[in-house]
């Protein structure tokens, strides 16, 4: 039988780095990861280890638990930071907390120059997530095993314990005399994940173990990879973008693709175009696919308007989502799409282009529609600068995202 502790350290070695970051809540899984990372650091000179704990402020005990982790890190000579979530919104608090945790950790990692932040998700987490998503009717992507490596805002993350059982990690901690904190919310039946954890124990009684579920999720990961690769291959030939940012889809070629590939092409495209943390839901993608199949209609999704007319399928930025007017600065990125460069005097205002701005120009309707989603500059004269149409006063505008970048993010 493989020693889980040695296997965990081997997983950290496999990352091939000399500096690792660890996200530590104080629970059993993350404490095991922290202790393994400490042993990894101590095994070879020149290695560095950093740790961070996110205090969501959702429980009265959270701060004290974070400080307990900080004290242990000080004992083990591990630099540690407590990251506090302060901008809690109304609505889906659990989802907001997950997104905040990723954002806080990615900001911390970049600030500390941490090459990769390790998370302590285990095989049990894979199985629980599988059941959660199965209950929600997820397809291949949702049921596939969570990624072992991913990025958030340019910060790399890793999950080196995905093949480890939670019970094995806690047994290893007990043998080493390392304590952990039990979060009472892990026994709260109002949380879906807690109920799935209980369901796992019932399934185990009829021969369906967490190991088997995790193995199925891993096989589905291979399927996901194949479908994603095929979608990227097809997207390279049937998507195009002009100099004004209008994205076109070759309708005839798109309709020859399998429905699963169609959905993936659109998901990757909208995910690249949008600032949303997750791609659009499948139901929304299916509406767009239906529109393209019908050959007529309009749909708004992820801040873009999809217009279908015959064989023409175009995506244009939704005007309602364009930035409000604000002072101009040389080199500014406007709406995440346009980089505007050129020195101007004080008082220039950057804003969306309007119909009246375009009246002096005889333009085809498609070009006009695209320019209405582009920037304009008020400089105190009768006619604003339209840098996406033509450079003026030394000011030019270029599209930042290339189409390949959008679909390969």
Asked whether residue 278 carries a pLDDT value surpassing 70, the answer given is no
Q: Is 201 assigned a ligand-binding role in the annotation?
A: no
Domains of the chain: 4-202 (3.40.50.620), 242-317 (3.30.465), 322-399 (no CATH)
End-to-end CA distance of the chain: 39
Q: Which residues pair with 408 in a beta bridge?
A: none
Is residue 1 over pLDDT 60? no
H/E stretch holding 334 reads strand 332-334
pLDDT, position 187: 63
Average model confidence (pLDDT) across the chain? 91
Question: What mean pLDDT do residues 98-121 have?
Answer: 95
Whole-number percent of the chain with pLDDT over 70: 94
Checking if the pLDDT of 57 tops 60, the result is yes
pLDDT digits (tens, 9 = 90+) for 316-352: 999 999 999 999 999 999 998 999 999 988 899 999 9
28 is in an annotated binding site: yes
Residue 45 among known ligand-binding residues: no
- Per DSSP, what are the bridge partners of residue 385? 377
CB 231 within 8 A of CB 258: no
Give 299's Cβ-side CA count (13 Å radius). Answer: 18
Contact between 409 and 271 (Cβ < 8 Å): yes
Structure pTM?
0.74
pLDDT score of 198 more than 60: yes
Q: In the predicted model, is pLDDT for residue 284 greater than 70?
A: yes
Q: In whole angstroms, what separates CA 277 from the centre of its chain?
A: 5
Assess contact for 333 and 400: CB atoms under 8 A.
yes
> pLDDT tier at 307 (50, 70, 90 boundaries)?
very high
Is 248 annotated in some ligand binding site?
A: no
406 and 269 in contact (C-beta within 8 Å)? yes
Report whether pLDDT(91) > 60. no
Percent of the chain with pLDDT over 90: 72
**379-386 contacts: CB < 8 A, separation 24 or more?**
379/344, 379/345, 379/347, 379/348, 380/347, 383/357, 384/353, 384/357, 386/353, 386/357, 386/358
Give the tens place of pLDDT for each residue, 63-85: 999 999 999 999 999 999 999 98
Longest CA span, the chain: 79
pLDDT at 313 over 60: yes
Contact at 8 Å (CB) between 351 and 319?
no
* CA distance linking residue 41 with residue 11, whole number of Å: 13
pLDDT at 407 over 90: no
Least reliable range by pLDDT among 52-61, 124-133, 346-355, 385-394: 52-61
Task: For residue 351, list its beta bridge partners.
Answer: 376
CB-CB neighbours of 15 under 10 Å: 16
Question: Is 25 annotated among the ligand-binding residues?
Answer: yes
């Amino acid at each position: 039988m493989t020693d889980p502790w040695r296997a965990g350290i081997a997983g950290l070695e496999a990352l091939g780095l000399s500096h690792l970051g660890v996200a530590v809540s104080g629970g059993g899984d993350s404490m095991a990861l922290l202790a393994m990372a400490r042993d990894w650091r101590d095994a070879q000179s020149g290695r560095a280890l950093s740790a961070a704990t996110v205090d969501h402020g959702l429980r009265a005990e959270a701060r004290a638990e974070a400080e307990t982790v900080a004290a242990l890190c000080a004992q083990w000579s591990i630099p540690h930071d407590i990251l506090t979530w302060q901008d809690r919104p109304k609505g889906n608090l659990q989802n907001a907390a997950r997104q905040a945790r990723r954002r806080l950790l990615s900001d911390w990692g970049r600030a500390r120059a941490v090459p990769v932040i390790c998370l302590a998700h285990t095989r049990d987490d894979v199985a629980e997530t599988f059941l959660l998503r199965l209950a929600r009717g997820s397809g291949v992507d949702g049921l596939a095993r969570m990624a072992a490596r991913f990025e958030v805002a340019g910060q790399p993350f890793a999950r080196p314990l995905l093949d480890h059982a939670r019970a094995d990690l806690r047994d290893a901690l007990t043998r080493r005399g390392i304590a952990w904190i039990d979060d009472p919310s892990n026994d709260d039946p109002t949380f879906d994940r807690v109920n799935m954890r209980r369901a796992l124990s019932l399934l185990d009684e009829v021969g369906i173990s967490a190991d088997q579920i995790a193995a199925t999720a891993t096989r589905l990961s291979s399927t996901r990879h194949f479908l994603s690769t095929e979608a990227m291959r097809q997207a390279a030939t049937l998507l195009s973008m002009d100099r004004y940012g209008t994205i076109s889809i070759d309708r005839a070629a798109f309709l020859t693709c399998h429905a699963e590939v169609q959905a993936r092409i659109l998901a990757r495209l909208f995910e690249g175009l949008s600032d949303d943390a997750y791609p659009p839901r499948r139901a929304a993608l299916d509406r767009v696919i239906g529109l393209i199949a019908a050959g007529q209609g309009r749909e708004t999704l992820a801040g873009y308007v999809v217009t279908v007319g015959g064989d023409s399928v175009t995506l244009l930025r939704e005007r309602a989502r364009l930035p409000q007017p604000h002072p101009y600065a040389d080199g500014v990125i406007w709406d995440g799409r346009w980089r505007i460069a050129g020195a101007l005097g004080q008082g220039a205002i950057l804003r969306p282009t309007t119909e009246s701005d375009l009246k002096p120009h005889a333009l085809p309707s498609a070009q006009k529609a695209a320019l209405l989603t582009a920037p304009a500059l008020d400089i105190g004269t009768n006619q604003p600068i339209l840098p996406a149409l033509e450079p003026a006063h030394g000011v030019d505008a270029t599209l930042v995202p290339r189409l390949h970048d959008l679909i390969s993010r």
